[in-house]
Structure formats: C-alpha cells, structure tokens
Chain A
Amino acid sequence: MRSTSAPSLVLDRVSAGYGGAAVIEDVSFSVRSGEVACVVGPNGAGKSTLLRAITRDAVLISGRILLAGEDISETAGNDLVRRGLAWVPQLDDVFPILTVRENLELGGYSLDRRRMRARVEEVVAIFPLLSRLLGRVAGQLSGGERKLLAIGRALMPGPSAVLLDEPTAGLSPEMTQLVLNTHVEELRQSGVAVLLVEQRALEAIAVSSEVHVMVDGRLRVSKQARLLTDGEELARLFLGE
C-alpha cells in the first residue's frame, strides 16, 4: 500500500555547494508521503549540505527538487514553508532570544493569526513537555527541550515534508528513543514525508523505510531499510566499499 503513494519529495541529480566547488554531486532519491528516508554517512560527507540545498541555504548548482510534484528548485527560501516544507537544522535550530511561545508563533508565521494560535495549542499537545516552558526564553532550554521546541516549531505550519538534521545529536538514549520512535514515527503515520539525517545509523535505520549512505558528497548506496539491518555491512558501506 505504501509503495503506491506518490513520491512527495524528489531530488533529481542534485549538485550543490557554497559558491565554490560542488560539495554534493549528482544526488537523486525520493521520499514518499508517510515514509521515512534516512541519510547516513561520516562527518563532512555533505548530509547537511544536502538538506540546505533543499532549503536554499546552499547554492543549488544543478538538478531539480520537486515537492508534491511541483518544482521548487527556483522557489524563494521564505516561500518553501508555504509549499509545505519544514526544516530543523542541525545547529541554531531555535531563536534563542525569543520565548518558547514566540518561537512557535514565528514557526507559524505563514499562517493567519487565528490559525497560528490554535496551532500552538495543537503542537503543545504533541509535545506536552513544552507546555510548562512556554514563557521561558529558548536560549535557556536544555539540549533536549530545545530540540523538541525546534521540531515543534517546524511542525507549526502543518508541513507535508519535514527535513530533520541529526535531531538526536547530544540527546540521552531515552530522548533519542522519544524523538525517533515516538515523534518521527507519529509524523510518518500522519502522512508526512520525513527526510532524516542521522549519525546514529542503526537507530535511524530502525525507523526508516529507505536508507541512503552518503560518502564524500555522493550517494554510495540506496537500499530498503529492511535489507540493511546487519551492522557489519553498514560499516563496510561507511568505509566506502
């Protein structure tokens, strides 16, 4: 049934960089609605750059990016959210000088005022931990609290595709479980296409349906997750064989 749903986010031969030479080259894959795809790979492989190419924070050199069938390669960065794309960056994922509530509200900037208010309540209901933090300044949150806020903020507009850049970095094993097994899973079940970048490859693969291994800016392997549960094979792929 899953395989019949149309691809939501499609990358077609994407090369991107930061004004100089390409950092990632010729990357193609797609993520369907209600599916989690994860990108794993060593540090500096270009995983964050891949996400930034989608969000227009890196320079798209060539290739196309489609969201729900529409080409968004030329869409302005601040219009992507209206097309249904949400992004949780690896670092600087919240506005530290704003309160938690203001962070959420700014996340819903593309909504109208009434909808935004209502949506804050809905997001807080998804992340009950945030409810008692609403008045706190985001810069004072703990790492885990901050990450939940960052994800909550990204969910504010009700996106159809979510990009998560190492959402579990620095989190305790329990929080990691909460984020991957609960929140990412809930997102998937609600029909969102999730593109997950992770260092914790095994945990990520456990919640994903497709796995892409990126080494040196290129996709080395793309496989269905259930065919790739063997740690040893993964290690070989990381080393680039």
Chain B
Amino acid sequence: MSAATQLYLATVSVYICVNVIASWALDIQFGVTGVLNFSFVVFQAAGAYTAAILSLGPSSSSGGFQRYVGGWRLPFPVPIIGAMVVGAVLAGVVGLVSLRRLRSDYQAMVMLVVSVIATIVAESQTGLVNGVAGISLVANPMVSLIHATRQTQIWIFVLFCVFCMALVGVVMYATVYSPFGRVLRAVRENDRAIEALGRNANRHRMQAFVIGGALAGLSGALLVEFIGAWAPNGWFYPETFVFFTAVIVGGRGSLTGVAVGAALVGVGVQQAVEYLPITLNPSVIASLEWIITGILTLVFLWTRPQGLLPERRRRFPTPWRSDAPELAERSAATKGDERG
C-alpha cells in the first residue's frame, strides 16, 4: 500500500474511534440521561487544548509563534489523562450552572450560549489558546516513544485509539446497563418520580454530565495528537450537532447503535460527499455535509425516532414521543382542528 493510502486509512480509523468515543460521551449525557448538552463540543475542545498544552512545552520553546497559557512537556499518557480531568472539571462547572430543572429547550439554549461564549473567549483572548489561529505542532506521542518508521508509529497510534475505544466501550457497557444506568434512564423519563423516591435527579444528571465531559476530553486529546492542530473554527457550536445526529441515527441510549451512528454520520457522510462523482468547490462540500446531516436528523426523527439499533430496554415509550398525556392532548387537538 502506498504511504498516502495508509495515511488515509489510518486517518479514517482514528476519526471513527474518536467519533465513537465522543458520541458515547454525548449518549450518556443526552441519550441515557436526557441532558440536551448543546455545548458538547466545548468539552472535546477543552480536552484537545489541554493535551496540546501538556505535551508542547512552554509556548516560548517553539519560537514563540504561538501563545497559550502554561505549557508543559509531560510524558505520553499524562496529557491524555489531563485532558480527561479538565473535561470532567469543566463539565462539573458548567453542570453546576446549567443543570437545573428547566424547560428542556431553555436548557438547550443555556448550553448553546455557553458554547458560543467559549468560542468568542478563545478567539478574542489570544494569550489563552492562541486565538483564531489555534494551537499547532502537537506531536503524535508514538514518535518519541517508539523507534520505528513514521508509518509504523502512525499505525501504533491507531491501535492505541482502538484500544481506548474498546476500554471506553467496556466501561460504558458496564455503566449504562447497570442499576446506575437504570437510574439515569429513569431521570430521563421522569425526574419527578425519581425525586419522589428520595433520589436527587440533579445529582445523577451531574454524574452523567461529568462522565461525558471526561470522555469528550479524551476524544479531543486523541484527535489533536493525531492531526496535530486545533483551532476555534473546528469546534464552532454547530459541530455539536454532528454528535447529536450520530446518537439519533444510531439509537438514543443504545451503545451499539450510537457507535454505528458515529461511524456513519461522523465519518461516513463526509467520505460519501468527498467521493461524489462531481467536482464541487470545498466550501460547497462542507455545506453539503451539513445539509445531509440536518436532513438525516429530520428523516430519522420522523420515520425512525428510536434509531437504527434501538435501546434494548423497551419499557419506556419512544423518547421522542411526548409523555402520554401531552401526546394525547396534542393529537386530540390536531384531530379536532379545522382541515386545511
């Protein structure tokens, strides 16, 4: 195989792993627990920046062409672990502010605004994470770790990503399908009932939020170590929507489904558009990806709201359908409406 083909395959593999981890992270927050985290991509970005800052060393060391806070050169797994810690802590902070009992659309708004504020701050405070230009020159950790050809180092990193994904998968399966996972689902379906049983629904939301934050951080760290650079235009607030689509298409609350959704939506759509048999200019290609993602979401919400591989425990009504009385009121309201 040519080097270019190998790089291409490795890139696709890493993107799949990263997207699967990230979509699982969103799934535990939104799919399982029901928190509309529209600032999800911020946690991924926080992880990426952290991993970069913890592996690049002080900003003066690279000739000072990029500026950022701190800067340490820490050995291999530490930047990744640091990214998870920062993702979790940031989730804790955002969760403290936003996880209230709030109309779900208002909560989504709060999260969306957090995302926009984060972008504005990162872009305007250039000393923080090098502003609009972003941080670059992040090295693949395998380069300094293993003496081998560049090709091999890349593939070892791919293996590492697969390993991380598998590990996260094991942890996720153990969590989501445990009694704890059942409590989270119950929070999603009926937080009042949960509180009537003497449990604190917000504490459980917070737990899911923090777990998701840590995993989002991990996904960001893996991605930045592979592609080497991270800038605000890569985590503008609509990016979160890709993960939502992955969760919706795959099947909200279903880990296998979400993994499939992540591969299809996060990577598949992009690949499909790139291989369209017509030549389009790059900005049109990007728009086309968004349009397809949006349409996929609408189509799935309409025709198959439970996703490709639905959540196994079907004791609950389809999450997209409103609770029984609300549904009834509305369907009745519609039936009784004037025609046309």
Contact = CB atoms under 8 A, between A and B. Distances in A.
A and B touch in the complex (CB under 8 A): yes
Interface of A: 17-20, 52, 55-60, 76-79
B105 interface: no
B336 A76 contact: yes
Contact of A57 (B325, B327, B332): B332
B14 to A, nearest CB: 47
B336 A77 contact: yes
A78 B328 contact: no
A19 B333 contact: no
10 contacts: A17-B328, A18-B324, A18-B329, A18-B332, A55-B336, A58-B332, A59-B331, A59-B332, A76-B339, A77-B333
B335 interface: yes
Which of B328, B331, B338 has the largest number of chain A CB atoms within 10 A?
Answer: B328
Given A76-B339, A79-B338, A57 B333 contact: yes
B232 to A, nearest CB: 43
Interface string B306-340: 00000000000000000011011101110111110
A77 B328 contact: no
B332 A78 contact: no
Nearest to A53: B332
Nearest to A74: B339
A59 B337 CA distance: 11
B337 A20 contact: no
Given A18-B331, A19-B331, A56 B336 contact: yes
Given A18-B331, A59-B332, A77 B337 contact: yes
Contacts of A52: 332
A56 to B, nearest CB: 3
Which of B324, B331, B332 has the largest number of chain A CB atoms within 10 A?
Answer: B332
Contact of B335 (A20, A56, A78, A79): A56
A66 B217 CA distance: 65
Contacts of B338: 76-79
Interface residues of B, number: 13
Contacts of A19: 327-328, 331-332
A136 to B, nearest CB: 28
A77 B328 CA distance: 16
B213 to A, nearest CB: 38
A20 B325 CA distance: 10
Nearest to B330: A19
Nearest to A57: B332
Contacts of A77: 333, 336-338
A104 B102 CA distance: 34
Given A20-B328, A77-B333, 5 more contacts: A18-B331, A58-B332, A59-B335, A76-B337, A79-B338
Nearest to B328: A18
A78 B331 contact: no
A134 to B, nearest CB: 30
Which of A17, A19, A52, A78 has the largest number of chain B CB atoms within 10 A?
Answer: A19
A59 B339 CA distance: 15
B339 A20 contact: no
B106 to A, nearest CB: 20
A82 B337 CA distance: 14
A196 B173 CA distance: 56
A28 B5 CA distance: 76
A58 to B, nearest CB: 5
B122 to A, nearest CB: 43
A65 B324 CA distance: 26
A117 B250 CA distance: 58
B273 to A, nearest CB: 40
Contacts of B336: 55-57, 76-77
A79 B338 CA distance: 7
Given A52-B332, A56-B332, A59-B331, A18 B325 contact: yes
A115 to B, nearest CB: 22
Contacts of A55: 336
A76 B336 CA distance: 5
A59 to B, nearest CB: 5
A170 B325 CA distance: 24
Nearest to B335: A59
A23 B329 CA distance: 14
Nearest to B325: A18
A22 B334 CA distance: 18
Interface string B278-311: 0000000000000000000000000000000000
Contacts of B325: 18
Interface string B6-23: 000000000000000000
Contacts of B329: 18, 57
A1 B338 CA distance: 38
Nearest to A18: B328
A22 to B, nearest CB: 12
B317 to A, nearest CB: 10
B330 to A, nearest CB: 9
Contacts of B332: 18-19, 52, 56-59
B332 to A, nearest CB: 5
Which of B329, B335, B339 has the largest number of chain A CB atoms within 10 A?
Answer: B335
A163 B49 CA distance: 66
A18 B325 CA distance: 8
Nearest to A56: B336
Nearest to A60: B335
